Structure 1
Amino acid sequence: MTALEIAVQDAAGAAIALAGGADRVELCAALGVTGGLTPSPGTIAAAVATGIDVHALIRNRPGGFVYSPDEVAVLADDVRRAVDLGATGVVIGALRPDGALDATATAALLDAAGDADVTFHRAFDTVADPVGTLERLADIGVLRVLTSGGAARAGDGIDALAALVAADTGVEIMAGGGVTPDAIGALIAIGVDAVHLSAKTVVADPGVTGPGGGSGGGLEVTDPAIVAAARSYAKR
Structure 2
Amino acid sequence: MVAFELAVQDTYGLAVAARLGVDRIELCSALPLGGVTPSLAFIEAAVATPGIPPVHVLVRPRPGGFDYATDEIALIVRDVQHAIAAGAAGVVVGGIRFGTVDAALVSRVIEVAGDAEVTFHRAFDTLADPHGAIDALVKLGVRRILTSGGAANAAEALPELAGLVAAAGGRIEIMAGGGVRPEVVGDLVRAGVAAVHASGKGTVADTVGVTLGSAAQGGQAGRETTDEVQVGRLLAALRSVHDHRGRDGVAFVG
Q: State yes or no: 1:222 paired with 2:226.
A: yes
How has the CA–CA distance of structure 1 residues 166 and 210 changed in structure 2, closer, same or farther, with 3 Å as cutoff?
closer
Deviations 1:83-112 (A, max 9, x none): 11111110000001x311111111111112
Superposition pairs of residues 48-197 of structure 1, within 5 angstroms: 48-50=47-49, 51-96=52-97, 98-167=98-167, 168=169, 170-197=171-198
Counterpart position of 1:35: 34
Aligned mates of 1:163, 1:223 — CA distance in 2: 32
Instruction: Point out the more displaced range, 114-123 or 165-174.
Output: 165-174
Contact 2:21–2:53 (Cα < 8 Å) also in 1: no
Q: Distance in 2 between matches of 1:62 and 1:221?
A: 19
User: What one-letter code is carried by the residue in structure 2 that aligns with 1:77?
Assistant: R
**What is the distance in 1 between the residues matched to 2:166 and 2:212?**
53
C-alpha separation in 1, matches of 2:221 and 2:38? 22
**Number of aligned residues:** 234
1: distance between equivalents of 2:180 and 2:87?
Answer: 28
SS in 1 for 2:234: helix
Q: After TM superposition, where is structure 1 displaced by more than 4 Å over at least 4 residues in a row?
A: 210-216
SS in 2 for 1:63: coil
* Aligned-residue offset at 1:52: 2.1
Supply the RMSD in Å over aligned alpha carbons.
1.5
Which secondary structure does the structure 1 equivalent of 2:95 belong to?
A: coil
Offset at 1:211?
Answer: 6.2
Partner secondary structure for residue 17 of structure 1 = helix
Structure having the higher Rg: 2
Q: Tell me the equivalent position of 1:18.
A: 18
Residue-by-residue CA offset, 1:149-170 (whole Å, 9 max, x unaligned): 0011000011111011111151
Residue 216 of structure 1, CA deviation: 4.3
Matched residues in 2 for 1:81 and 1:217: separation? 35
8 A Cα contact 2:61 2:76, kept in partner: yes
Change (3 A) 1:215 1:19: farther
SS at match of 2:46: helix
CA deviation after TM superposition for structure 1 residue 40, in Å: 0.3
Note the residue ranges of structure 2 that are not aligned, 5 or more in a row. 242-254
Contact 2:154 2:180 in 1 (8 A): yes
CA shift for structure 1 position 208: 2.4
How high is the TM-score relative to the length of structure 1?
A: 0.95
Q: Counterpart in 1 of 2:249? A: none
Q: Which range is displaced more, 167-176 or 117-126?
A: 167-176
Amino acid corresponding to residue 62 of structure 1 in structure 2: P
Q: Secondary structure at the match of 2:139?
A: helix
CA distance in 2, matches of 1:177, 1:209: 32
Identity, % of aligned positions? 50
